[in-house]
Amino acid sequence: MADDGRSDAELIAASWGDPDAFEGIFERHLDAVFRYLSVRVGRDDAQDLAGEVFARAFETRRRFRLDFETARPWLLGIAANLVRQRARQLRRRGHALSRLEGWEAAVPDSSDELAERADADRARARLSAAFGRLRPAERDIVALHVHAGLSHAEIARPWASR
């Protein structure tokens, strides 16, 4: 769908009667949503979650506040919620796996690979620890600003219509 100059709000409103109009929202914002998710969960999982973001947005599009011109903060808010849900699922899965006898992590094949992984793991652990000390809402704010490129004003407005 070529960009016809309509705002996101106009496309979403049009999609109420013509669901195909929502394709414009997908085309405009997929890259931003995917970049944000890639930073938060990695590229592989970001593909699955990006699809889920747009599926949920489509399902709830009638709740989008049409007085907002752009849907990007709304979509990234949905993405942030999905990241939190995924983190909870992974924690539960990790707890369950840690209780299994004989469960061990995969070991790299080479000593070079092991050293690289150890360095990356240490850096990731430091960053993760710092990030983890933030409250959940603060983590979302940092990620939305730094990785998704939202302005402070965009972050401050409600992510989803209430």
Q: What is the pLDDT of residues 7-40, one digit of tens each?
A: 999 999 999 999 999 999 999 999 999 999 998 8
- Provide the pLDDT for residue 2: 53
| Spatial CA neighbour of 26 closest among 5, 44, 52 | 52
The phi and psi torsions of 138 (rounded to 5 degrees) equal: -70, -40
Q: Give the pLDDT confidence of 96-143 residue by residue, as tens digits.
A: 666 665 545 554 555 566 566 666 667 777 777 777 788 877 777 877
DSSP labels for 65-134? -TT-S--HHHHHHHHHHHHHHHHHHHHHHHHHHHHSTT------SSHHHHHHHHHHHHHHHHHHHHHHTS
Phi, psi (rounded to 5 degrees) for 141: -60, -45
Q: How confident is the model at residue 161 (pLDDT cuts 50, 70, 90)?
A: very low
Mean pLDDT of 50-67: 94
Tell me what the mean pLDDT of segment 47-76 comes to: 93
State residue 122's pLDDT score: 73
How many CB atoms are closer than 10 A to CB 74?
27
* Four-way CATH pick for 8-104+137-156: 1.10.1740, 3.40.50, 1.10.3470, 1.10.1760: 1.10.1740
Instruction: Choose the weakest-confidence range: 58-62, 93-97, 134-138, 151-155.
Output: 93-97
Query: For the chain, what are the domain ranges?
Result: 8-104+137-156
pLDDT of residue 157: 72
Nearest to 72 by CA among 43, 107, 110, 34: 34
Which pLDDT value is given to residue 78? 95
> 160 falls in which pLDDT band (50, 70, 90)?
very low
The pLDDT, as a whole number, for residue 9 is 95
